[in-house]
A and B are shown apart, each in its own frame.
Chain A
Amino acid sequence: MEYKVSLGPQHPALHEAVSLRMTLDGEVIRDADLKLGYSHRGIEKLAEERSYIQNIYLTERICGICSHSHTTCFTQGVEQLMELVPARRGLYIRTIIAELERVHSHLLWLGVAGQEAGFESFFMYTWRDREVIMDILEWISGNRVHYAMNIFGGVRRDIDELQRKKILDSLELLKKRTDYYLNLAASEPTFVGRLAGVGKLSREDAIALCAVGPTLRASGIASDVRRDDPYAVYSEMPFEVATADSCDVLGRAVVRIKELISSYAMLEFLLKNLPEGPFKVKAPRKVKPNEVYSRYEAPRGENVHYIKSNGSDKPERLKVRAPTLANYAATIAMLKNGFIADIPLIFAAIDPCICCAERLVQLDDGRRGDSRVLSFSQLRAMANERAKKIDFKKRKIAWPF
C-alpha cells in the first residue's frame, strides 16, 4: 500500500527549513517533491537599492560558508561591466582565499557526512583540521566567516611574507591528514558500507537534471568552471578535475577529498608564484549601462550572478543562482527508490545551503491550496495593484531605530 508522508520544514534530520512530500511504499520512497521558500530573505530586491560597494557585503551574506564565492562572482561581474583589469597580485590573493575556502568547506562537508553516517569521530577530526584553515583565514582577512577581501580592482588586504610561510607550513599538516582521510574513507568498512550505493544518480540523469559541482563530478562527468571557463588565474594553473564513477554518496565523498588534495597543490603553486606589485587598482563608482553573466566554481558547484547596470552607482537587477538550487532536481532523482533512513545522507551529499538558494517566487492561495509561479512583471503588477488599495495615512508606521 502506498501512503504519503511530509517531512519538514522543521525536522531534526534537516538542518535548514525545507519541506519534503513523499509517496512511500513501506520504507521505500516512490515519489518525492520539494517545497521551498521558507527562508526567503529578499536579497535581490535589497541589492537594487544599494551601491555596488555596499552590494559586495550584501552578496557576502548570501551564504556563510561560501561567502567568498558570492563576492568574487559579483565582483568579477562588476569588473567586467566597469571594463576594469584587476591587479595581478590581487587576483592571486583572491584565488588563494577561494581555495582556502574550498578546503574549509569540503572539510566541513566531510564532517557532516561522517556525522550523518553515524561516524562521529570522523566529524570531530575533520572539524579539528578545519580550524587550521579558519585560523589562517582569520589571520589574513581579520574574520573567520565573512572575509570581506574583495573590492573592485583587486583585494583589500595584502598577504605578507610571514603569512605566506605559515600557510605553506599548515598545508603540509593538512596534506598528511587528508591522505589519512582518503585512506579512511576507502577502507573503513562501516563508513564504506553506509555510503556505497546510497543516492544513485546515473550519468545520464546528472546531465539531464543539470546537476552541478561534486554531485555532477561524482557521476563521472568532468565539468568544472575553473577549467571550462577559467576566471581569475585558473588558466595559468595546472590542475585536474576530480571525478568518480560510482555515482553514489561514497563517490561524492571521494571527489571532495580528491578536490582537497588538488586545492593544496593549487595553494602551493599560488603562494610560491605570488607576483610582486600592487594588490588593487582604483575603480570607478558608476557603471555604464550593460549586462553581465558571471560564473564561479563555488565549493558546492557552479555559482551564477547576472548583473544589469543602468549607468548609476546601483545595479538595476542582480540575479543569483546558488549551486544548491541547481542540485534540487537531482536530489529528487536520488531520493526515488531509496530508503527513508537515507534522506539525511542524500540531502547532506549535495551539501545543501537552502537559505542561499531561496529565490523562487511562488504564490500559495491559502483558500484553494494550489500554488503557481509568477513572472517578475506579473508580480510587479500585482504589487502595484495591492499598493493602491492600502491607505497609508491610516497606518501609523514609525521606524523604530
Chain B
Amino acid sequence: MSLRIAPFLPELLRSLFKKPVTVKYPFEKEAVPKDFRGTVVFNPPKCIGCNICVNDCPAEAIDIIRVSETEKKFKMILHNDRCIHCAQCVDSCPTKTYHMDLEYETAAFSRWDLKIEYK
C-alpha cells in the first residue's frame, strides 16, 4: 500500500463540525439500560433467613443476624460500602428477596452512611 499525506484529514475536518457527544453531567443525565446493576434493594418480608446470600456474597457485604433466640426474628445489615454490584445475591436468593435498582450516584461523605439496617 502506498503512503499518502494526512489520510485522516477529512475525518478530522468532519469532526470539527459535529455536536459534542459529552453531556453536562450533573444537569443532564444519560439514561442507564433497564437491566443495569445499580444498588441492591432488600425486601424484608420475603426473607426466610436461609443465609445463602451471606455465603455467596463475594464482598461479604451482607450480614443476617438472629435477634432473639426464641422467636424467628432477624436483623439484616447491608454494607453498601463493600458491595461490588455483582448481583449474585439476586441470583442466589430462593425467594427473590433482592433486586437491583438503577441508582448509580451512591457517593457519600462517610462509609457509615452507606450501611443500611433492615429489621
Contacts and interface: CB of A to CB of B under 8 A. Distances in A.
B5 interface: yes
A58 B58 contact: yes
A189 B2 CA distance: 9
Contacts of B7: 183-184, 187-188
A203 interface: no
B56 A187 contact: no
A146 interface: yes
B58 A192 contact: no
A146 B86 contact: yes
A9 B85 CA distance: 32
Interface residues of B, number: 31
B24 to A, nearest CB: 18
Main secondary structure of the interface of A (DSSP, over half): helix
Contacts of B6: 188
Contacts of B5: 189
B3 interface: yes
A286 B11 CA distance: 56
Interface stretch (B32-40, B41-49, B65-73): B32-40
Interface string A324-352: 00000000000000000000000000000
Interface in A106-136: 121-122, 125, 128
Nearest to A122: B8
B57 interface: yes
Nearest to A60: B86
Contacts of A138: 32-33, 36
Given A142-B36, A148-B86, A187-B2, A54 B57 contact: yes
Contact of B1 (A58, A148, A157, A186): A186
A187 B36 CA distance: 41
Given A57-B88, A121-B12, A187 B1 contact: yes
B4 A139 contact: no
Nearest to B91: A156
A180 B11 CA distance: 10
B107 to A, nearest CB: 17
A53 interface: yes
Give the interface centre of B12, B35, B92 by most chain A CB atoms within 10 Å: B35
A148 B87 contact: yes
A191 to B, nearest CB: 9
A301 B9 CA distance: 34
Interface string A51-78: 1011111100100000000000000000
Contacts of A57: 58-59, 84, 86, 88
Contact of B56 (A54, A139, A180): A54
Contacts of B79: 401
Nearest to B111: A401
Contact of A51 (B36, B37, B56): B56
B19 to A, nearest CB: 13
Given A50-B58, A57-B58, A188 B4 contact: yes
Contacts of B57: 54
Given A142-B33, A151-B91, A125 B11 contact: yes
Nearest to B100: A142
B32 to A, nearest CB: 8
Nearest to B81: A401
Interface in B45-101: 55-59, 79, 82, 84-88, 91-92, 100
A257 to B, nearest CB: 13
A148 B11 CA distance: 36
For the complex of A and B, 4 pairs with smallest distance between CB atoms: A57-B58, A142-B37, A54-B58, A189-B3
Given A51-B55, A55-B58, A125-B11, 13 more contacts: A54-B58, A125-B8, A139-B35, A142-B33, A142-B87, A143-B37, A148-B37, A183-B7, A187-B2, A187-B4, A188-B3, A188-B4, A192-B3
19 contacts: A53-B56, A53-B88, A54-B58, A57-B58, A57-B59, A57-B86, A121-B12, A122-B8, A138-B33, A139-B33, A139-B35, A142-B33, A142-B87, A151-B91, A156-B91, A183-B1, A187-B3, A187-B7, A401-B79
